[in-house]
């Protein structure tokens, strides 16, 4: 029997002798990623990729199609569910929750580990050249940390704009973390957190970068984020929880305290950006949104992209090669562009005014023709035919449903058949927005301040636009309306509108109204007639002021309180 | 690895040196049922088997005339679902599933063991097979440890025997042809229907009345061609032949089985190589050899040497894939261009190349594959230590290598048109180039396996004791010239062992315990090994006094087993191989600088799962085997398998606000239940007339119990609770009859709908039909039930044998180019003739025609699903054996002539539009053949 045991053990010795000890590595390990200089740089770069892109943001549609600016041609696009009210905490077509928190984790992880980057190669080398590399790299690492800090604050800004107060996750959580105990931070805590992070980052980020590094977070970007956050915090939505119908956790969705002070802070922050004096309005409104616009001095921060034709394929009018109509401007937006009466005077467009209605596209704010493709206008080598029976009009499958096509952002000069592409960057902060934000905040706590008119007129007087100045002597309400109007026109399709309407707490009226288009008829006698019609109905209930927190999150963390009405 | 080699060498030396004497173990013949059943790493007399195993003998496999052994298994092995694939010789392996599929993870393949070692088996020939066994329950598979959960298919090759030399020669010649090819319309119908589709879309017709008339009359085959490209490219029948020669025999000390086999099969393409030297005929040929030798080196020491191998050559015309060619045949409209233009050049267009030109003018595609299986096993009786004890050691090298030789070139083809003056003008596409060779492609797998065994087999009076311990180590490499992922090119190591202990009492009660202890380095260091135990009990009721010699019940055995098995193939894709380790892969790139330079990004990948482990499955099996009146056999098995620890994304436990990329955790569960039944009647053996009939059916229904599924907007969208691979689509409720019906129905958002379009159910009743109305439709592609019916009879010298096999419980989807008219400027299937028009509204079975991809009608929906039930005549053979006296006169032992049909017909619900199993690409084949076999 003993022998049996010997032989038996022999088998199992042989089993355990096989080389099962190996550990293979085919991708960077945690320590490789965190301790080397090159990989750390790549880790910072990777955080930038989590900035939402903006172009085909909601199931192939621009975010503008989720506002009164536009709609989307393909009926199956999920953006329509946002517009007609069939969305909820399980199915939200504009769900950026997870993606933004992904970016937050990347940034947090970077901040946690950036001190472990191994620079011993230079630190321990007494040669002056090595020491200078060491110093440079130390400084770079500090800068990277502040880039990460800024990006993380920006992701939180995008979150609170959608959800109100959200959980501030200050460390990278492990799988065995007690997720059940996580709660939402109050709105005030979130705002304060973003502001304090901005203050930290702004202190050490450069105002400009050398050419090769252009595009990274600058001091101006950080200050812009701060200004936008303060403007949001001062606005009606976050100071008046009346819409929430007796929600018992109003601290999650609203602030208390001195609103005037917040307006002042917002104005001061915007002014700080302006006073950096490195930004200037660009002289060509159309070019500001295509090609190399990321180099223009109006751009404070932009989300970079590769060269592509995706957006043009999606948005060229249906009658052009490979075009799919995509996101099409609404009549409401078109009507918002002023009619220029003289070099000093404008009037609102009015369908009841026959001279307007008969020639709806003449003498308009030049930004109309630069942002919207109008019927019978010249585009890509021919006139656009949006009339019934025309090459781009009703009757053609997937033709525009509003009577317009998108012009802003779309690069007219691509030959899609030959695979042409162009670089598109999505502007997060640009100076015109800062001017208008400054004017808005100023008008709230210091109406009549001459800078209000000065900055709004600067936007209107951009070379090539040259709209008549806004007259003196408007009262605070009139001025507020002018500023809001200017934002709508100047910043069309830039994904400001749906947030502005919420911020001002007017979305319940405006986003709940039907979206209009125009029917174009070609007259036998030549010329066209234009008749506005209701293109689609829209639903906006009060609870939509904030997005619902994804239900999965609440099931995992029951202490996360859902937003009102969801 | 080196260490283990030394230890095995040591073991072998030990074996040889202890070669002395000793004692005799006498195993009493207690039962007539002493036939030997191969089991995992061993064998048992059949009566002793307490696990669920089904088996087919090699002889039965000869009834299917095929170049792929797996294609002879249809309906043969209860519990084994065989899914027919392409019929192209050389690449026609079917899918094999033991008791269906038990996991939603990626590793669903059955484990194939040839003579005790993992290897491929499709290249073997029936004549070298002793038996193929399917190991199904825990008791049969636990010994394979973390590799047994998908079932084990065990192939045993033939061995020699003590006796005079027996020579067998067999040859078979036949023709195979496509069972069904997709049906398409001729030019006139095509053009008329395209006009109709255009009219339906509000566009003007493409073809004038005059042009249609030209197509109808076929008066000008050049400008108005009507080409049936299938006829131009494919042959009706292709030749296939097999020769087999084997020798079997031996004496006391040496026994051998030696085989040579040659099979060749022509492909379905026309003989392009005969027409154009730079092309080649489509052929497949394979040579198999085998030499299995058992040598008794001494009374106590036995050596077994197994050598089996094959060399195969495959040639295809055209430097393009078979799939690509059949894709063109499915899309090229019949009127696009003539085969040849009037000036003799190839027809062609900007959109399509000329399929015949592709065959003749684009070179050739050759491959050469080799397999080798070689095993040496030494067994030493150790009766001097303990009676009935033996040890053995084995080493096996198995490999497969295939290299490709591709010659390619391009050629000119011309679009013909006639100008206003009536002159022919030619527009050239493509250009002639010279032949370019490419020899770099290859693929291979290889493994090296060491095994050591200790067996104990002894009877003490009534008590039988069998014990077995084994150790196993394997290194497996599977790569091709396209493998770039280092995770995949590193060899896979499997190390472990197992054991089995069987106790039998009076050949009446049997208890067995077996286990596997297996490890692989795909898991974290301290959790690489797993223990998989199984127990089984058997009770041979017919041995009890109350049933002994019972005239009705000749044999009755009840058995049951329970145990744990595992599946370590949890990361078929390379990136997931080492899930226990945290990785930081490259992410999307970003762009910086004034010239928008690309910069790379790195970030934390999916969170590591340090405790990642294999899938486990608890298996319960209960069954009985019964023989009545010595003639009537009934075998029934019922099983309940519960797979757990399947890798799943924890959508419901890890919040998104953590910002992690969710890891794969061992959380998933699946349940699989079913059973098998065999009924067989064998007539009394008589010289004049004997027969058997056998019916089998097996069933397996799986269900996803838990997969940590993401929250879905509507409950009917959940995968949990559904069978694996449940199709999700729109539910069609017929065709819209009128505009009024459309107006009163939920709005269909995919495209503007008109009468004659497919109407769908608004599942969530929100007034619109959109993506959210996608719900379970039909059944998965894998059938739940297979049934087979076979019979054989012998009358004097004549014999007949057939097998009908069928499945049910699955759905077939009629989609893609073969069914959806005018997609991507493609052709129209014959089915489209039954389209909806206002006149045929009552009887139409095909929606309103569209001239392009109709986004409403061609959506994945139940409209295009058919019940997948079918029954196929898998084989039918008539034979005549020469009488003994005749054979004697010819100086041979026996001779038989036979006619065979394989895959003769299919009864199904496809209306002839496709084969119920093979829907696209190279069709399934039917074979008719003549053959003769001789024994000397």
Asked whether A147 and A205 are in contact (CB, 8 A), the reply is yes
Q: Which of A27, A48, A550 sits opposite B583 (nearest CB)?
A: A27
Handedness of CA A382, A387, A392, A396 (dihedral sign): negative
Q: Which residue of B has its CA nearest to A389?
A: B202
Cβ-Cβ contacts under 8 Å, B711 against chain A: 90, 551-552, 555
Interface of A with B in 91-110 (CB under 8 A): 91, 97-98, 101-106, 108-109
Q: Per the CB < 8 Å rule, is B202 touching A395? A: yes
**CB proximity under 8 Å: A 196-255 to B:** 211-216
Q: Does A7 touch chain B (CB under 8 A)?
A: yes
Strand residue runs (E) in B745-869: 747-748, 758-760, 768-769, 775-776, 785-795, 798-808, 811-813, 865-867
pLDDT of residue A508: 92
Is a pLDDT exceeding 80 seen at residue A4? no
- pLDDT of A10 above 70: no
Is the Cβ–Cβ distance between A384 and A323 less than 8 Å? no
Contact B656 A97 (CB under 8 A): yes
pLDDT tens-digit readout, A213-259: 999 999 999 999 999 999 999 999 999 999 998 899 999 999 998 99
Predicted pLDDT of residue B334: 93
For chain B, the distance separating the N- and C-terminal CA atoms, rounded to the nearest angstrom, is: 47
Q: How far is A78 from chain B (nearest CA, A)?
A: 9
A211·B8 Cβ contact <8 A: no
Query: Partners of B835 in the beta sheet?
Result: B846
Instruction: Tell me how long chain B is.
Output: 936
The answer to whether B710 and B651 have CB atoms below 8 angstroms apart is yes
**pLDDT at residue B440, rounded to an integer:** 87
> What gap in Å lies between CA A443 and CA B10, rounded to an integer?
94
Given a cut of 70, whether residue A21 has pLDDT beyond it is no
pLDDT score, position B911? 87
Lowest mean pLDDT, pick from A323-337, A354-368, B381-395: B381-395
Helices (H), B24-89: 58-61
Say yes or no for a CB contact (<8 Å) between A45 and B596. Answer: no
Residues of A in contact with B578 (CB under 8 A): 24, 26
CB pairs under 8 A between A and B: 237
Alpha-carbon gap, residue B90 to A38, rounded angstroms: 49
Helix (H) or strand (E) holding B620: strand B615-628
CA B660 to chain centre: 38
**Planar angle of CA B824, B825, B827, nearest 5 degrees:** 110
* B607 contacts A1? CB cut-off 8 A: no
- A-chain CB neighbours of B497 within 8 Å are 11-12, 15
pLDDT for position B397:
94
Under 8 Å CB-to-CB from B653, ≥6 apart: which residues? A179, A556, B667, B708
Mean pLDDT of A438-446: 96
What is the four-CA torsion angle of A156, A161, A165, A170, rounded to 10 degrees? 0
Please name the residues in contact with A467: beta carbons below 8 A apart, sequence gap of 6 or more: A338, A340, A346, A365, A366, A460, A461
Contact between B584 and A39 using a beta-carbon 8 Å cutoff:
yes
Q: Write down the pLDDT at residue B8.
A: 53
Within B70-151, where are the H helices?
A: 138-141
The CA distance from A194 to A225, in Å, is: 9
Short-list B140, B147, B153, B135, CA closest to B570: B147
CB A151 within 8 A of CB A48: yes
Q: How many CA atoms are closer than 13 Å to the CA of B198, on its beta-carbon side?
A: 13
Beta bridge partners of A536: A515
pTM recorded for the entire structure:
0.87
Rounded Cα distance, B133 and B154, in Å: 5
Chain B residues closer than 8 Å to A103 by CB: 659
Q: Do A49 and B578 count as a contact with CB atoms less than 8 A apart?
A: no
The residues facing B769 across adjacent strands are: B748
φ/ψ of residue A47, rounded to 5: -65, -35
Q: Tokens 């109006």 appear where?
A: A298
A30 in B contact zone (CB under 8 Å): yes
Search chain B and give the residue with CA nearest A293. Answer: B594
Here the tokens at position B927 are 């074979």
Q: Please give the average pLDDT of every successive group of 10 residues along chain B, which has 936 residues.
A: 49 42 33 74 90 93 93 95 89 92 92 93 94 95 92 94 93 94 93 92 86 92 92 93 95 94 94 88 95 93 94 86 86 92 90 89 92 93 86 93 92 88 86 90 92 90 90 90 80 89 92 92 86 95 88 92 92 73 90 93 91 94 93 95 94 92 92 96 86 96 94 91 95 94 92 91 90 93 95 92 96 90 86 92 91 87 95 96 88 93 93 88 93 94
Alpha carbons B668 and B708: distance in angstroms, whole number: 7
Identify which of A273, A155, A297, A278 has the alpha carbon closest to the alpha carbon of residue A223. A273
Chain B hits for A177, Cβ within 8 Å: 658
Test A23 with B497 for CB contact under 8 angstroms: no
The contacts of residue A361 (CB under 8 Å, 6+ apart) are A368, A369, A374, A375, A377
Helices (H), A404-460: 431-445, 450-460
Q: Are the CB atoms for B107 and B708 separated by under 8 Å? A: no
Sign of CA dihedral B479, B482, B487, B489: positive
Among residues 395-414 of chain A, which lie with CB inside 8 Å of chain B? 395, 397
Task: Please list every residue in chain A whose beta carbon sits closer than 8 Å to the beta carbon of residue B455.
Answer: none
Mean pLDDT of A250-278: 94
Q: Which residue of B has its CA nearest to A3?
A: B385
Q: Cβ contact (<8 Å) for B592 and A212?
A: yes
Give bridge partners of residue A187 from the DSSP assignment.
Answer: none
Interstrand relation of B768-769 and B747-748 (parallel, antiparallel or unpaired): parallel
Q: What's the gap in Å between the CA of A188 and the closest CA on chain B?
A: 19
For residue A96, give the chain B residue with the closest CA. Answer: B656
Chain Cα centroid distance, residue B867: 21
Residues in contact with B133: Cβ distance below 8 Å, sequence separation at least 6, in sequence order:
B37, B38, B39, B53, B54, B55, B77, B153, B154, B156
How far apart, in Å, are the Cα atoms of B44 and each of B47, B467, B468, B512?
8, 11, 12, 12
- Sort residue B721 into left (φ over 0), alpha (ψ -120 to 50) or beta: left
């Amino acid at each position: 029997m003993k022998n049996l045991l010997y032989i038996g053990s022999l088998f199992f010795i042989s089993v355990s002798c096989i080389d099962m000890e190996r550990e293979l590595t085919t991708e960077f390990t945690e320590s490789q990623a965190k301790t080397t200089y090159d990989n750390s740089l790549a880790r910072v770069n990777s955080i930038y990729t989590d900035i939402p892109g903006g172009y085909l943001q909601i199931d192939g549609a621009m975010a503008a199609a989720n506002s009164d600016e536009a709609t989307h041609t393909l009926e199956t696009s999920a953006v329509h569910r946002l517009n007609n009210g069939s969305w909820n905490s399980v199915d939200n077509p504009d769900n950026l929750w997870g993606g933004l928190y992904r970016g937050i984790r990347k940034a947090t992880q970077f901040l946690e580990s950036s001190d472990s980057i191994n620079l011993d190669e230079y630190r321990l080398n007494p040669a002056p050249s090595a020491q200078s590399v060491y110093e440079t790299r130390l400084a770079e690492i500090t800068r990277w940390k502040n880039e990460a800090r800024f990006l993380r604050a920006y992701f939180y800004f995008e979150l609170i704009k959608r959800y109100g107060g959200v959980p501030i996750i200050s460390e990278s959580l492990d799988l065995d973390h007690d997720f059940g105990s996580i709660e939402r931070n109050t709105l005030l805590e979130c705002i304060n957190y973003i502001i304090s992070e901005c203050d930290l980052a702004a202190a050490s980020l450069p105002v400009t970068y050398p050419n090769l590094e252009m595009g990274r977070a600058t001091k101006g970007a950080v200050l812009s984020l701060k200004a936008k956050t303060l403007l949001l915090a001062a606005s009606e939505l976050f100071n008046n929880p009346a819409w929430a119908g007796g929600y018992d956790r109003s601290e999650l969705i609203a602030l208390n305290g001195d609103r005037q002070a917040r307006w002042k802070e917002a104005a001061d922050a915007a002014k700080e950006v302006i006073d950096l004096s490195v930004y200037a309005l660009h002289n060509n409104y159309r070019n500001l949104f295509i090609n190399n616009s990321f180099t223009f001095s109006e751009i404070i921060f932009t989300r970079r992209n590769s060269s592509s034709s995706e957006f043009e394929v999606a948005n060229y009018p249906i009658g052009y090669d490979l075009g799919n109509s995509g996101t099409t401007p609404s009549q409401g937006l078109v009507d918002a562009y002023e009619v220029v009466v003289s070099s000093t005077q404008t009037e609102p467009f009015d369908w009841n005014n026959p001279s307007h209605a008969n020639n709806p596209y003449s003498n308009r704010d030049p930004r109309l023709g630069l942002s919207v493709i109008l019927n019978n206008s010249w585009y890509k080598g021919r006139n656009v035919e949006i009339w019934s029976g025309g090459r781009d009009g009703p009757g053609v499958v997937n033709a525009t449903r509003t009577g317009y096509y998108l012009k802003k952002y779309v690069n007219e000069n691509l030959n899609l058949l030959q695979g042409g592409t162009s670089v598109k960057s999505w502007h997060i902060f640009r100076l015109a927005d800062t001017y208008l934000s400054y004017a808005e905040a100023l008008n709230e706590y210091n109406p009549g301040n001459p800078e209000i008119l000065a900055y709004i007129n600067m936007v209107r007087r951009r070379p090539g636009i040259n709209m008549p100045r806004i007259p003196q002597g408007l009262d605070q309400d009139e001025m507020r309306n002018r500023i809001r109007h200017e934002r709508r026109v100047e910043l069309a399709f830039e994904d400001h509108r749906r947030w502005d309407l919420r911020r001002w707490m007017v979305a319940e009226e405006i986003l709940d109204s039907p979206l209009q288009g125009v029917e174009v008829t070609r007259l036998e006698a030549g010329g066209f007639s234009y008749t506005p019609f209701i293109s689609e109905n829209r639903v906006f209930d009060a609870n939509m002021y904030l997005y619902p927190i994804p239900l999965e999150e609440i099931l995992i963390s029951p202490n996360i309180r859902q937003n009102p009405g969801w | 690895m080196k260490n283990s080699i030394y230890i095995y060498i040591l073991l072998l030396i030990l074996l040889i040196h202890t070669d002395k004497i000793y004692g005799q173990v006498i195993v009493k013949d207690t039962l007539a049922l002493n036939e030997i059943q191969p089991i995992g790493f061993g064998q048992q007399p059949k009566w002793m088997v307490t696990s669920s195993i089904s088996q087919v003998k090699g002889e039965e496999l000869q009834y299917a005339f095929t170049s792929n052994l797996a294609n002879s298994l249809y309906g043969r092995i209860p519990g084994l679902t065989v899914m027919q694939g392409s019929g192209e010789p050389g690449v026609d392996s079917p899918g094999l599933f033991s008791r269906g599929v038990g996991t939603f993870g990626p590793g669903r393949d059955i484990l194939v063991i040839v003579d005790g070692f993992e290897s491929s088996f499709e290249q073997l020939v029936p004549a070298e097979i002793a038996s193929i066994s399917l190991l199904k329950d825990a008791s049969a598979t636990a010994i394979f440890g973390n590799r047994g959960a998908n079932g084990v298919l065990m192939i045993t090759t033939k061995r020699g025997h003590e006796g005079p030399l027996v020579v067998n020669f067999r040859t078979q010649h036949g023709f195979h042809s496509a069972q069904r090819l997709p049906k398409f319309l001729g030019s006139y119908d095509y053009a008329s229907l395209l006009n109709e589709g255009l009219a339906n879309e509000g566009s003007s017709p493409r073809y004038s009345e005059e042009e249609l008339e030209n197509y109808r009359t076929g008066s000008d085959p050049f400008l108005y061609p009507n080409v049936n490209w299938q006829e131009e490219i494919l042959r009706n029948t292709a030749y296939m032949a097999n020769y087999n020669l084997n020798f079997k025999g031996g004496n006391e000390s040496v026994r051998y089985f030696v085989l040579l086999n040659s099979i060749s099969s022509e492909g379905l393409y026309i003989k392009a190589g005969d027409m154009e030297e730079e092309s080649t005929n489509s052929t497949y040929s394979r040579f198999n050899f085998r030499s299995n030798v058992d040598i008794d080196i001494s009374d106590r020491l036995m050596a077994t040497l197994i050598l089996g191998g094959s060399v195969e050559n495959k040639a295809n015309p055209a430097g393009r894939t078979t799939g690509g060619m059949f894709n063109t045949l499915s899309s090229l409209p019949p009127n696009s261009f003539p085969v040849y233009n009037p000036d003799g050049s190839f027809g062609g267009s900007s959109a399509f190349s000329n399929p015949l030109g592709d065959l003749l003018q684009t070179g050739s595609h050759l491959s050469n594959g080799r397999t080798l299986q070689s095993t040496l096993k030494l067994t030493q009786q150790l009766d001097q230590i303990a009676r009935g004890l033996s040890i053995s050691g084995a080493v096996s090298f198995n490999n497969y290598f295939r290299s490709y030789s591709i010659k390619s070139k391009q050629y000119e083809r011309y679009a013909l048109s006639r100008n206003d003056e009536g002159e022919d003008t030619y527009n050239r596409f493509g250009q002639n180039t010279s032949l370019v060779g490419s020899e770099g492609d290859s693929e291979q797998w290889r493994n090296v396996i060491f095994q050591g065994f200790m067996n104990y087999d002894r009877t003490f009076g009534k008590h039988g004791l069998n014990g077995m311990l084994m150790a196993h180590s394997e290194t497996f490499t599977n790569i091709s010239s396209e493998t770039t992922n280092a995770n995949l090119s590193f060899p896979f190591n499997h190390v472990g062992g197992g054991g089995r202990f069987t106790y039998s009492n009076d050949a009446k009660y049997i208890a067995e315990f077996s286990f596997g202890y297996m490890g692989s380095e795909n898991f974290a260091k301290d959790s690489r090994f797993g223990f998989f135990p199984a127990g089984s009990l058997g009770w041979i009721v017919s041995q009890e006094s109350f049933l002994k010699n019972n005239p009705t019940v000749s044999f009755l055995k009840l058995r049951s087993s329970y145990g744990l098995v595992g599946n370590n193939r949890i990361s078929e894709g390379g990136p997931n191989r080492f899930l226990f380790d945290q990785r930081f892969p490259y992410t999307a790139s970003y762009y910086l600088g004034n010239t928008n330079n690309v910069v790379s990004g790195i970030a934390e990948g999916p969170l590591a799962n340090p405790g990642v482990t294999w899938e486990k499955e608890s298996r319960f099996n209960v069954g009985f085997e019964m023989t009545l009146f010595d003639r009537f056999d009934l075998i029934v098995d019922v099983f309940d398998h519960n797979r757990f620890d399947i890798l799943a994304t924890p959508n419901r436990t890890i919040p998104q606000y953590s910002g992690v990329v969710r890891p794969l955790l061992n959380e998933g569960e699946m349940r699989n239940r079913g059973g098998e039944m065999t009924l067989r009647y064998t007539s009394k053996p008589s010289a004049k007339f004997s027969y058997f009939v056998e019916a089998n059916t097996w069933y397996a229904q799986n269900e996803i119990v838990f997969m940590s599924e993401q929250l879905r907007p509507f409950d009917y969208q959940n995968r949990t609770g559904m069978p694996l691979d449940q199709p999700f689509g729109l539910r069609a409720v017929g065709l819209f009859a009128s505009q009024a019906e459309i107006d009163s129905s939920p709005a269909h958002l995919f495209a503007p709908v008109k009468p004659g379009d497919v109407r769908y159910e608004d599942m969530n009743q929100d007034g619109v039909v959109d993506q959210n109305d996608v719900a379970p439709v039909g059944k998965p592609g894998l059938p739940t039930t297979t049934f087979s019916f076979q019979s054989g009879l012998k009358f004097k010298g004549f014999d007949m044998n057939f097998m009908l096999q069928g499945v049910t419980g699955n759905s077939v989807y009629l989609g893609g180019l073969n069914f959806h008219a005018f997609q991507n400027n493609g052709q129209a299937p014959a089915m489209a003739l039954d389209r909806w028009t206002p006149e045929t509204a009552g009887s139409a079975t095909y929606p309103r025609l569209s001239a392009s991809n109709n986004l409403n009608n061609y959506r994945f929906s139940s409209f295009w699903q058919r019940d997948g039930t079918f029954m196929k005549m898998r084989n039918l053979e008539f034979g005549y054996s020469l009488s003994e006296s005749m054979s004697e006169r010819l100086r041979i032992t026996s001779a038989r002539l036979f006619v065979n049909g394989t895959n003769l017909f299919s009864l199904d619900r496809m209306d002839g539009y496709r084969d119920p199993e093979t829907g696209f690409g190279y069709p399934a084949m039917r074979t008719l053949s003549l053959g003769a076999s001789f024994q000397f």
